[in-house]
Structure 1
Amino acid sequence: MLPGLPPLAPFRPRLLQDLRGYTRQKFALDAGAGITVGIVALPLAMAFAIASGLKPEAGLWTAIIAGFLISALGGTSVQIGGPAGAFIVIVYGIIERYGLANLLISTVSAGVLLFLLGWLRLGTLVRYVPVSVVIGFTNGIAVLIGLSQLRDVMGLQVDKMPADFFSQIGTLSSAIGSFNPYAFGLAMVCVLGLFLWPRLWAVDSQFRRQLDSVQGISALKATSRVPAPVVALVSLTLLAWALRLPVDTIGSRFGGIPQSLPVFQWPAFSWETAKLLVVPTLTIALLGAIESLLCARVADQLSDAPKHDPNQELMAQGLANAVVPFFGGMPATGTIARTVTNIRAGAVSPIAGIVHAATLAGVVLLAAPLAMHIPLAVLAGVLLFVAWNMGEWREFARLKQFSNHYRLMMVSTFVMTIVFDLTVALELGLVLAFVLFVRRQSHLFSADIDSHTETSVEARLFGALFFGAVAKLDPLQRLADTAPPGLVMRLDARQLISLDTTGLDALEQLHRSLSKRQGRLVLHGLNAQPRSLLERSGFSKHIHLEDPAPV
């Protein structure tokens, strides 16, 4: 560790803490939750990979390997990691522009960066991203996910979808003549089923109350525990297979899923291409950090488990993303839907996440041949439902309750995400957040002149004197430039809470102008931070500092 730097974060997975006093009862809860969330993750993992331009097994092995590593090494007790909908747009764009090999390199590099962020205790920096920016690009991603699924929802004969918004619209419009009503029907029934299934079995639903009054149908009641995506996947796959519906399936497009363990692969690497991947790498790392820590905060609110360790979580996310590309995987992060499912199913420790990974591995190794019959329209319907739930659409209706700054950041990030890409949207959102923050903070600073005579000027400073607010000192600077000989400018700095080097330079300008006319600058009642900067710069030796009178 270098002198003056904070200590590096210790590598302490939450699993080690949760295993102390671990009991059979806790394992029973974790096993049940892990199996449940593993079944839920099965269709989602395949759907996310296909929507990202990859083969379905890429999503499955990401969910298995990354899910295991994130649970075993992470800083939360109940978070589930794996492929996420938020990555679909950025992954598809990277593959379209740079190719699969460079996606793997970007993911590994992003994993290293995530690990360093956690190791250097920078996990809390992710919280500096404004919520308006997060909502804007989340809603934008949801729109793009929905748009990308229209090809399979409508069964259009399109060999490859482009990555940008307007090209996608043009491609879909030109292929509308190949509309497949069977695919569209499967997708719509899937979406409707995903919407109705949990409401059908809700405790206060009319159907549930009537069913509870009937005896001898406990087997039917037990189906209420089956997750909606699994019901849709199994039932609609059987329907399409039994009726021999003319729709695209995993088998017809990808040839099925290999019934074997993934093979270690070293991606083709060159420094020439690596130089082009800086922006994609930063985007994957930033998006992964934001998604995982937001998910961890949601888990903290819903679970009684100890609060998450953001630095340990980022280190685990980094290791998972650095490892999984060598087995043909895609970027991974914390997933809110699966984490909430895990918590509601009774999970109490990271063992549930490990069981989830083992469940997926077992299903892949034992039942992979059956996956070839899954209609792509059904997976597209699942993703349409995911995209709808992913977006925070009510925030648009609430915009009138917030400031113009908030509206500008959210709407511009949303539009830029759709029209351009996530990278540009994040950059614009963060730049806007910075500019608007500086503008707002500059309005909070003031330099009020209380009195002005031939021999003295009395003024008060309020707020933070920083680079965005130094223009507020211009009236004082004009007085100093035209001051009569011997003028004393006394600034009451008791309400000056912060000072940066640009503000210090503005005070030095006042001092120089007054000194040229045999005047002097007096600062009264400096607080700790401004006084420290003046002393470290040596400026305090050239002016008169007054301490406030004791109360």
Structure 2
Amino acid sequence: MFTDKRFHHYSLKSVPKDLLSGLIVGVIAIPLGMAFAIASGVKPEYGIYTTIVAGILISLFGGSKYQIGGPTGAFIPILFGIVMTYGYENLLIAGFMAGVILVLMGVFKLGSLIKYIPRPVTIGFTAGIAVTIFTGQIASFLGLEGIKKHEEFILNIKEIVVHLGSTNIFSILTAAICLATIIITPKIAPKVPGPLIGLVVSTAAASLFYPGQVATIGTAYGQIPSTLPALHLPELNMDIILELIRPAFIIAMLGGIESLLSAVVADGMTGSRHNSNKELVGQGIANMITPLFGGIPATGAIARTATNIKNGAVSPLSGIFHGIVVLLVLIFFAPYASFIPLASMAPILMVVAWNMSERKVFAHIFKTKSTDSLVLVVTFLLTVFVNLTVAVEVGLVMSAILFVKRMSDVMITAKALPNPQTNRAKVETGMVTDTHDCPQISIFNIEGPLFFGAALTFEETIMNTINYRPKILLLRMGRVPFMDTTGEANLASIVRHFSKNGIVLISGINPQPESVLKKTGLYEVVGDEHFFAHTGEAIQYALKEINQNKCLGCKHFAFRECKKLSGTEAKEGSRQKLTATF
């Protein structure tokens, strides 16, 4: 383990720092683990098992020095949906499959690709998850009875409205005590875990002043076992794999996104640098092994990772210690967890939802009133009213389509000529007019990526402009950084069409487009002698290839050489001599 780069320069002096931070984060993780499990539709102990097993494995095998792994709020809607649709056993199988997917993503070095998911998509579904979590805790906060849980947001809200008459004033009081404690504790003692203190204080209040008046973990789920469950291998077959591949993929994608976002936050706080592919492998291993102990899917937890750093963590040992702390608490204090009121768990998740909502970033993107705003709102609404899977799929597709649209708008294909007012007569757009254009040489400035979204417009612009059949077509491609096969096909169409009666010249082509042309054979069709590093060289070549008889009497004067070619220079010389004679 200590050959791991994350342990470079590590010494025994650092162990107490990791032990302290691991202890603090472990204490914080206990109420969160139970709360996340309950909100996901499973027993609270499964959240504890996840915190222990996944927390240790992610720190052992991950690629971040400070990452704390475990169950997170982001998973709640997707896990709850899987439990409702497929059942708890199949949730374990989906989690195991997601682990395999994450390992493969890391092995094939796809970690960097996850970073390219557009920010409006991640902010949109994160805010949507936050709303789902927050509203999902209203029933527990109010102590409503007879509530049936649904996947659909509208049906859950309807359940709350229908059962408002069963509101329990003692549940509200318990939840309010817990919420107030969570909010006040950081202001009085910043390093003391607010959620744990909130649980203790509200549980004590409920037990002492109105015992038996509120539902508890014990009355709802029974007593929490004080040991890890026996190892249980999932029963896999092709039918189950095919049935669960979609939810498994969503778990893997969400887990990958969350873990890498958390690792980036850790890097920003410490100046370290994580290994994204190794992090995915570590997350994958954890999610493959955790279900064998009954645990739910896990990922990097941003808030716990930040807490780990703030409390002096030095290495991944802090994450390992955090898992051991939770294990010891499970062994020695599990029976006492049965007395915790469900109303005390609600404020913890509500605060988590509030903190993860990214409300300021959401408002910032929304105010831009751009295509990003549209993606943000659509992803958010679909997350809340449909499900996370559809939201991410639609968000990504919308982002891709809008990106293609923006890039196609950036693409410029415009006629150009040398500007005699600049040094060296720089070739610029906007110089061509009805009386200032060369009938035999057409020059086009091409700017932007020549790809499938812009290729057709590129071809149509040129073909519509050169319908008068000039002798030479010069394409200035120095500002085309990229060309795909669609762009190459449209360029080939222009070359084939134009080469029947003229010559195509290309100047300033970049390495990537040149490579594409060589691979497809279009480079040879155009001819090596028709490629030029500089536009000036291409113009000189073009002037030698034109029909100079057609230049006689031309008044366009597109190039410096035009006066001489048109005979105007000779006539002006004759007039000057004649004037001098008289």
TM-score (norm 1): 0.90
Work out whether residues 483 and 514 of structure 1, in 8 Å CA contact, stay in contact via their aligned partners in 2: no
Q: Which residue of 1 aligns with 2:359?
A: 393
Q: Which residue of 2 aligns with 1:538?
A: 521
Secondary structure of the equivalent of 1:522? strand
Work out whether residues 15 and 77 of structure 1, in 8 Å CA contact, stay in contact via their aligned partners in 2: no
Select the residue among 218, 231, 255 that pairs with 1:251: 218
For the residues of structure 2 that align with 1:423 and 1:154, how far apart are their CA atoms?
30
Alpha-carbon displacement from aligned partner over 1:107-146 (angstroms, at most 9, x marks no partner): 1111011111111111111110011111111010000001
Secondary structure of the equivalent of 1:498? coil
Deviation at 1:312, TM superposition (A): 0.8
Which amino acid in structure 1 is aligned with residue 531 of structure 2?
Answer: E
Are 1:39 and 2:39 matched, yes or no?
no
Which amino acid in structure 1 is aligned with residue 123 of structure 2?
Answer: I
Work out whether residues 15 and 350 of structure 1, in 8 Å CA contact, stay in contact via their aligned partners in 2: no
For the residues of structure 1 that align with 2:363 and 2:71, how far apart are their CA atoms?
30
Q: Which residue of 2 aligns with 1:193?
A: 181
CA 103–195 in structure 1, closer or farther in 2 if over 3 Å, else same: same
Deviation at 1:527, TM superposition (A): 1.2
Select the residue among 157, 167, 173 that pairs with 2:161: 173
Work out whether residues 15 and 72 of structure 1, in 8 Å CA contact, stay in contact via their aligned partners in 2: no
Secondary structure of the equivalent of 2:445? strand
Deviation at 1:399, TM superposition (A): 3.4
For the residues of structure 2 that align with 1:270 and 1:380, how far apart are their CA atoms?
38
Are 1:508 and 2:492 matched, yes or no?
yes
Are 1:332 and 2:265 matched, yes or no?
no
Secondary structure of the equivalent of 1:43? helix
Select the residue among 219, 228, 246 that pairs with 1:261: 228
Select the residue among 268, 288, 303 that pairs with 2:270: 303
Alpha-carbon displacement from aligned partner over 1:46-70 (angstroms, at most 9, x marks no partner): 0000000000111000000000000
Select the residue among 427, 451, 461 that pairs with 1:466: 451
Which amino acid in structure 2 is aligned with residue 308 of structure 1?
Answer: H
Q: Which residues in structure 2 correspond to 1:194-273 (within 5 Å)?
A: 194-201=182-189, 225-243=191-209, 244-273=211-240
Runs of at least 5 residues in structure 2 that lack an aligned partner in the other structure: 417-431, 537-582
Which amino acid in structure 1 is aligned with residue 220 of structure 2?
Answer: R
For the residues of structure 2 that align with 1:14 and 1:483, how far apart are their CA atoms?
74
For the residues of structure 2 that align with 1:395 and 1:322, how far apart are their CA atoms?
34
Deviation at 1:362, TM superposition (A): 0.4
Work out whether residues 15 and 73 of structure 1, in 8 Å CA contact, stay in contact via their aligned partners in 2: no
CA 95–15 in structure 1, closer or farther in 2 if over 3 Å, else same: farther
Which amino acid in structure 2 is aligned with residue 475 of structure 1?
Answer: T
Q: Which residue of 2 aligns with 1:275?
A: 242
Select the residue among 527, 533, 536 that pairs with 1:548: 533
Select the residue among 495, 515, 526 that pairs with 2:509: 526
Work out whether residues 499 and 530 of structure 1, in 8 Å CA contact, stay in contact via their aligned partners in 2: yes
Alpha-carbon displacement from aligned partner over 1:301-347 (angstroms, at most 9, x marks no partner): 1125x311111111000000011111111000000111111111111
Secondary structure of the equivalent of 1:542? helix
For the residues of structure 1 that align with 2:266 and 2:192, how far apart are their CA atoms?
22
Runs of at least 5 residues in structure 1 that lack an aligned partner in the other structure: 1-12, 203-224
Q: Which residue of 2 aligns with 1:117?
A: 105
For the residues of structure 2 that align with 1:472 and 1:190, how far apart are their CA atoms?
63
Q: Which residue of 1 aligns with 2:329?
A: 363
Are 1:488 and 2:472 matched, yes or no?
yes
TM-score (norm 2): 0.85
| More displaced stretch, 460-469 vs 39-48 | 460-469
Secondary structure of the equivalent of 2:377? helix
What root-mean-square deviation, in Å, do the aligned CA atoms of Structure 1 and Structure 2 show? 1.8
Alpha-carbon displacement from aligned partner over 1:195-219 (angstroms, at most 9, x marks no partner): 12112346xxxxxxxxxxxxxxxxx
Deviation at 1:357, TM superposition (A): 0.5
Q: Which residue of 2 aligns with 1:96?
A: 84
Are 1:457 and 2:442 matched, yes or no?
yes
Are 1:478 and 2:444 matched, yes or no?
no
Q: Which residue of 2 aligns with 1:422?
A: 388
Deviation at 1:261, TM superposition (A): 2.1
For the residues of structure 2 that align with 1:327 and 1:411, how far apart are their CA atoms?
39
What is the percentage of aligned positions where both structures have the same residue? Answer: 39
Deviation at 1:258, TM superposition (A): 0.8
For the residues of structure 2 that align with 1:346 and 1:15, how far apart are their CA atoms?
22
Secondary structure of the equivalent of 1:367? helix
Secondary structure of the equivalent of 2:4? helix
Structure having greater relative contact order (Cα 8 Å, sep ≥ 6): 1
Work out whether residues 33 and 47 of structure 2, in 8 Å CA contact, stay in contact via their aligned partners in 1: yes
CA 396–17 in structure 1, closer or farther in 2 if over 3 Å, else same: closer
Alpha-carbon displacement from aligned partner over 1:227-270 (angstroms, at most 9, x marks no partner): 11111111111111112051110100111201122111223433
Work out whether residues 14 and 75 of structure 1, in 8 Å CA contact, stay in contact via their aligned partners in 2: no
Deviation at 1:454, TM superposition (A): 4.1
Q: Which residue of 2 aligns with 1:3?
A: none
For the residues of structure 2 that align with 1:483 and 1:461, how far apart are their CA atoms?
20
Q: Which residue of 2 aligns with 1:156?
A: 144
Deviation at 1:297, TM superposition (A): 0.7
Are 1:380 and 2:363 matched, yes or no?
no
Which amino acid in structure 1 is aligned with residue 352 of structure 2?
Answer: V
Work out whether residues 6 and 64 of structure 2, in 8 Å CA contact, stay in contact via their aligned partners in 1: no
